[in-house]
């Protein structure tokens, strides 16, 4: 995804002389082409992410379209005060580009996990929050975020869903698999696990709709409600804490719109600090965020409804 982002930014810089890229002393092999073509549009701020953000904001307030680039938790959590007080408060044209969303840097441990970022960034006024599921989508959404302007957060993942390119619109959910028995809402590269869970359940005769929510803010409230109305069971899946993330956003949208599914459940990292290390696939499985966990959660909801229906029928017969 990071390569797709850089291709998009390079194309944007060729058309828009306001583009500036500020990195936190990393990503040089990925950034080489951009730096070679636009040396005056690149600044290495060093291992000083708070200063990187302040510099980018100063650039934006003098007319630039600035992008900061670093490993996910450093340009977000380390720079929260600068993002809140400098970038968002002034509605500055700064897009924070975070590589390694979720467990992407799983071998480096908790300090390099980005599992609270979506909740924290979507709480900031004026901030656009986007997490693509595939490299081609990272390219398209980068261009759309540039056209939108203002403060933005682009969360890039090492994983990917593996879907073929198709229509994608910032701020609108996308149905990537049809089904009427249940729906899984997913954000980012972990969409692949949602699709895998749907495949597992399809073999059991269960039709699972899969809806991608690549934009957490602005949130497509009506799109989420429409899918939840069509499917009686709702599951959310995210490589992120369940506190304040996609699951909460979907629940808010449904309940505030009078949509009450028969069953609702969230899969994400529980309220804990993950201590396990390993690659992304290992950590998803270890913390119950993979396709098998998602399929099991939906089975439990569906089986629970079947048991309750049978008990209700027995009560009616007994009456």
Q: pTM above the 0.85 mark?
A: yes
Q: Which residues sit opposite 42 in a β-bridge?
A: 21
Structure confidence by residue, pLDDT tens digits, 272-292: 999 999 999 999 999 999 999
292-311 per-position pLDDT tens digit: 999 999 999 998 765 454 44
Mean of pLDDT over the chain: 94
Q: Quote the tokens at residue 191.
A: 């969409």
CA quadruple 195, 196, 201, 202: dihedral sign: positive
Average pLDDT over residues 26-40: 91
pLDDT at 306: 52
Phi and psi torsions of 196, nearest 5°: -65, -40
pLDDT at 311: 46
303 exposed, middle or buried (CB, 10 Å; 0-12, 13-18, 19+)?
exposed
On the question of pLDDT at 316 being above 50, the answer is: no
Residues with Cβ within 8 Å of residue 34, at least 6 apart in sequence: 6, 9, 10, 13, 21, 41, 42
| Angstrom distance (rounded) from CA 228 to CA 260 | 8
- Other residues' Cβ atoms within 10 Å of the Cβ of residue 232: 17
Q: Which residues fall within 8 angstroms of residue 77, CB to CB, at 6 or more apart? A: 116, 117, 120
Region 88-114: mean pLDDT is 93
Q: pLDDT tens across 161-187, in order?
A: 999 999 999 999 999 999 999 999 999
Angle at the Cα of 15 from the Cα atoms of 12 and 20, rounded to 5 degrees: 55
- Report which of 162, 190, 156 is spatially closest to residue 269, judged by C-alpha positions: 190
Q: What pLDDT score does 186 carry?
A: 98
Rounded-to-integer distance, Cα 35 and Cα 41, Å: 8
DSSP 8-state class, residue 84: I
Q: Which domains does the chain have, with CATH numbers?
A: 2-156 (3.40.50.970), 174-307 (3.40.50.920)
> Of 64, 60, 219, which is closest to residue 128 (Cα–Cα)?
219
d(CA 288, CA 294): 8
Mean pLDDT value of segment 137-149: 98
Work out whether strand 152-156 and strand 174-177 pair parallel, antiparallel, or are unpaired: unpaired
Element (H, E) at 135: helix 135-148
Q: What would the mean pLDDT of 79-99 be, rounded to a whole number?
A: 97
Would you state the pLDDT for residue 137? 97
Specify the pLDDT at position 229. 97
Whether the per-residue pLDDT at 317 is higher than 50: the answer is no
pLDDT of 232 over the 70 cut: yes
Q: How confident is the model at residue 159, as a pLDDT?
A: 85
pLDDT confidence band for 158 (50 / 70 / 90) = confident
pLDDT of 312 higher than 50:
no
Could you give the CA distance from residue 77 to residue 205 in angstroms, rounded to a whole number? 44
C-alpha 248/C-alpha 268 separation (Å) is 11
Provide the sign of the torsion angle of the four alpha carbons 12, 17, 19, 23, taken in this order: positive
111 vs 256: which has the higher pLDDT: 256
What pLDDT does 315 receive?
46
């Amino acid at each position: 995804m990071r390569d797709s982002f850089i291709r998009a930014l390079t194309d944007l810089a060729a058309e828009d002389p306001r583009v500036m890229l500020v990195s936190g002393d990393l990503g040089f092999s990925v950034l080489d082409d951009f730096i070679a073509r636009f040396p005056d549009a690149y600044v290495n701020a060093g291992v000083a992410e708070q200063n990187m953000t302040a510099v980018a904001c100063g650039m934006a307030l003098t007319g630039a379209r600035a992008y900061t680039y670093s490993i996910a938790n450093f340009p977000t959590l380390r720079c929260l005060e600068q993002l809140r007080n400098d970038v968002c408060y002034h509605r500055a044209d700064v897009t924070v580009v975070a590589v390694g969303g979720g467990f992407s840097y799983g071998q480096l441990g908790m300090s390099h996990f980005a599992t609270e970022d979506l909740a924290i960034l979507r709480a900031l006024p004026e901030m656009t929050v986007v997490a693509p599921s595939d490299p081609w989508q990272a390219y398209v959404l980068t261009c759309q975020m540039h056209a939108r302007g203002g403060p933005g957060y682009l969360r890039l993942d090492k994983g990917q869903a593996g879907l073929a390119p198709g229509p994608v619109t910032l701020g609108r959910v996308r149905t990537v698999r049809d089904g009427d028995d249940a729906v899984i809402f997913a954000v980012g590269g972990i969409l692949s696990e949602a699709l895998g869970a749907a495949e597992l359940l399809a073999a059991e005769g269960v039709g699972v709709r899969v809806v991608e929510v690549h934009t957490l803010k602005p949130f497509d409230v009506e799109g989420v409600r429409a899918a939840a109305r069509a499917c009686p069971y709702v599951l959310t899946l995210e490589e992120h804490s369940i506190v304040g993330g996609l699951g909460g956003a979907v629940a808010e949208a449904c309940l505030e719109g009078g949509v009450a599914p028969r069953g609702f459940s969230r899969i994400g990292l529980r309220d804990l600090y993950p201590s396990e290390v390993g690659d992304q696939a290992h950590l998803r499985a270890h913390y119950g965020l993979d396709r098998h966990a998602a399929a099991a959660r939906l089975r439990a909801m569906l089986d629970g409804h079947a048991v309750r229906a049978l008990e209700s029928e027995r009560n009616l017969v007994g009456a």
